[in-house]
Structure 1
Amino acid sequence: MAGHSKWANIQHRKGRQDAARSKLFSKLSKEITVAAKMGDPDPEKNPRLRLAVKAARAASMPKDVIERAIKKSSGGDSADYTEIRYEGYGPGGIAIIVEAMTDNLNRTASNVRSTFTKYGGNLGTTGSVSYMFDRVGEIKYPASVGDPDTVLMAAIEAGADDVESDEEGHWIYCADTELSAVSDALEKVLGESEESKLVWRPQNRTQVDLETAQKLMKLIEALEDDDDVQSVTANFDVSEETAAQL
């Protein structure tokens, strides 16, 4: 039951503090619209939509904005989005996965490629780094929900595969196909989670120095700033000393 990545904790805090609310809402709305369009517009009958709505609520998105995003899926003016994954390497040879949702593949590919190049990285081909990650469900709870042993037992009972706990909180991992079921089971015991989503979890993390971490942060932040990019994942971590300087 290892502690969660220090880099991921920093990124989580920075994301909450720095992300422009309008940009965050735009990304969440897009996911809600696409999820509703691909399945049933009722969150109770559509696991992906239910998770998207949950993420929106966790980000304090107003109820009317959520409902508008769902209704947009059935409108004739809704954009036809394509989900696409980009893979590449950042400074220090760190593997990076970028997930995007776009209505213009050429624009997005060009933007992602130029961002990698500008910030010292290289865009690779599909499959070039994803083999170093596992596609899993991730459910986050605050540290206040219980001690690590209590959360671990609840996670095992719910069908989860692994738990990472530290002073920042608890991260529970399960098979990607079981995310909705495990999330629902945990909710009955621990209450509503802070986040419940599909992620790319690094099989191993490479610890980098301060200079490399700063370069990676610039690249990741630039990628996340792109309206078409939904998420960015990298397989690095930092020491406590380095984390304190970021």
Structure 2
Amino acid sequence: MAGHSQFKNIMHRKGAQDAKRSKIFNKLAREITVAAKSGLPDPAANPRLRAAILAARVQNMPRDRIDRAIKQGTPGGGDDANYEEVRYEGYGPGGVALIVEALTDNRNRTAAEVRSSFTKYGGSLGETNSVSFMFNRVGAIYYPASAADADTVFEVALEAGADNVESDENGHEVTSTVENFGAVRDALEAKFGGAESARLTWRPLNTVAPSEDAAASLLKLLDVLEDNDDVQVVEGNFDISDELMQKLTA
């Protein structure tokens, strides 16, 4: 399991995620509300909102819950909380670099909770930019294999300005620079429909293979961080083998 793949990053916790469906919906709803507040409440005219709605649909979030989240983000919609986008950086067990992105209405609370989680599981929270230099900020767009064949996705993506396309039996991941992300996403959407996921992410320059003990602690830390209501995304530069992952999650 490589930390740079958001899709592989969550596979081992699929069962746990199913058990926390309501918590996942809360995170998705918060992103939808913030996206609606940051622009027009019309997904056709608001790419961030459109991506948030698509992510919610992938998780089978009920339509009425999506609509309610959009309404809360519109003037007079009832959500007066001012959410801030905050990034935390630090090292987890085994020297793994981690970047935690959050949406919070209380920076002090979230910082304290994230710091406590790092400390509890053998990590240490650092200053901003303490580990982000080990990552590239890129746009990542994911389509299921059923969207199109690999050659077609490759041609459309590269023509739109993408940097790379990786395809396998599960799907296609298209990456681009931050600057080209919008154009690539829009070109793919026009050809193949809405993506299963489309967002800016952190891609590590190199990966770290933690020991079994460190990997076990790391997975506990990831679970606690992702269980936090304010945390939206956790990225890392870890690479855990499939064999070790199966052993740790058996």
Same fold (TM over 0.5): yes
CA contact (8 A) 2:33 2:69 kept: yes
Q: Does 1:179 align with 2:177?
A: no
Aligned to 2:44: 44
Q: State the alpha-carbon separation in 2 of the partners of residues 233 and 103 from structure 1.
A: 22
Tell me, which stretches of 5 or more residues in structure 1 are unaligned? none
Q: Which residue of 2 aligns with 1:69?
A: 69
Q: CA deviation at 1:168?
A: 3.4
Per the alignment, residue 12 of structure 2 pairs with 14
> One-letter code of the match for 1:204?
N
**Could you tell me which amino acid in structure 2 is paired with residue 160 of structure 1?**
A
Q: Out of 229-238 and 153-162, give the one that drifted further.
A: 153-162
1:5 deviates by 6.1
1:126 Cα deviation from its structure 2 partner: 0.3
Q: Kindly indicate whether the alpha-carbon contact (under 8 Å) linking 1:6 and 1:239 is maintained by their aligned counterparts in 2.
A: no
Q: Secondary structure at the match of 1:227?
A: coil
Say if 1:6 and 1:240, in contact at 8 Å, map to a contact too.
no
Question: What percentage of aligned pairs have identical amino acids?
Answer: 55
Map 1:162-173 to 2 at 5 A: 162-173=164-175
CA separation of 1:242 and 1:128: change in aligned 2, threshold 3 A: same
Contact 1:4 1:166 in 2 (8 A): no
TM-score (normalised: structure 2): 0.88
Matches within 5 A, 1:53-132: 53-73=53-73, 74-75=75-76, 76-132=78-134
Assess if the C-alpha contact under 8 Å between 1:161 and 1:174 holds in 2: yes
Partner deviation per Cα, 1:28-78 (whole Å, 9 max, x = no partner) = 111111111111111111121111111111211122111111111123542
Residue 26 of structure 1: how far off its partner (Å): 0.5
Which amino acid in 2 is paired with 1:60? N
- Give me the whole-angstrom Cα distance separating, in 2, the residues matched to 1:238 and 1:133: 18
Contact 2:94–2:211 (Cα < 8 Å) also in 1 = no
Relative distance call for 1:5 and 1:131 in structure 2 (3 A) is: closer
Offset, 1:169 = 2.6
1:211 correspondence with 2:217:
no
Paired residues in the alignment total: 244
Kindly tell me: are residues 130 and 54 of structure 1, through their superposed partners in 2, closer, same or farther at Cα, counting changes over 3 Å? same
- Residues 92 and 218 in structure 2, CA contact (< 8 A), matched pair in contact too: yes
Q: CA deviation at 1:171?
A: 1.3
Name 2:190's counterpart in structure 1. Answer: 188
Instruction: Give me the TM-score of the superposition, normalised by structure 1.
Output: 0.90
Q: Is the 8 A contact 2:4 2:236 kept in 1?
A: no
Q: SS at 2:216's partner residue?
A: helix
- Per the alignment, residue 154 of structure 2 pairs with 152
Instruction: Check conservation: 1:4, 1:171, Cα contact below 8 A.
Output: no
> Residue deviations 1:129-157, cap 9 Å, x none?
01111221111122344554443233212
> Post-superposition shift, 1:115?
0.4
The 2-side partners of 1:139 and 1:170 are apart by 8
Is the CA contact (8 Å cut-off) linking 1:4 and 1:165 kept in structure 2?
Answer: no
SS at match of 1:176: coil
Q: Is the 8 A contact 1:81 1:101 kept in 2?
A: yes
Structure-2 separation of matches of 1:210 and 1:9: 22
- Kept in 1: contact 2:215–2:240 (CA 8 A): yes
In 1, the alpha carbon distance for the partners of 2:116 and 2:32 equals: 28
Give the superposed CA RMSD.
2.2
Cα distance in 1 between the residues matched to 2:106 and 2:46: 26
Match of 1:225 in 2: 227
- Deviation track 1:210-232 (CA, whole Å, cap 9, x = no partner) reads 32222111111111111111111
Aligned partner of 1:243 in structure 2 is 245
Secondary structure of 1:86's aligned partner: strand
